[in-house]
Amino acid sequence: MSPQPWAQFALLLAFCLIIYFVNLGQWDLWNPDEPRYAQVSREMVNGGDWILMHRNGALYTDKPPLFFWAVAFSTFLWGGFTPFAVRFPAALFGTLTVLEVGRLPHKSSNGASNVYAQHRGHWQGCKGSL
């Protein structure tokens, strides 16, 4: 007998919360990417320019602005540019990706493909957050 879909969802959610959110803000931002993304978001918030991004006063065109908008919103939500607030959008998007990948194969009749897709989605999410 296979587990209920809501039980699979709850198990995946609990697993993602443990993997992605436990100790999320315990360490400083890791070079080179996290401080750069935090700085671009900080300049976006402080300068008020939400379209053209800047890093150390120079135009920053390496990445599209969606993630930086998410980091800026997260800093409003969590009260400042803390390591937790900067990492929160990546952890949230990783969790949503794993849950979506786990949900999609439920339309198929093969239970093995469900388990495979959930594990594959988790490891893809882990690769993106490390």
pLDDT tens profile 8-21:
889 889 999 999 99
Which of 79, 74, 72, 84 has its CA nearest to residue 22? 84
pLDDT tens profile 47-97:
999 999 999 999 999 999 999 999 999 999 999 999 999 999 999 999 999
HSE of 85, CA atoms in CB hemisphere, 13 A: 18
pLDDT, residue 106, reads 62
pLDDT, residue 4, reads 79
**Exposed/middle/buried for residue 64 (C-beta within 10 Å: 0-12, 13-18, 19+):** exposed
pTM: 0.75
Which helix (H) or strand (E) covers residue 54, if one does? strand 54-55
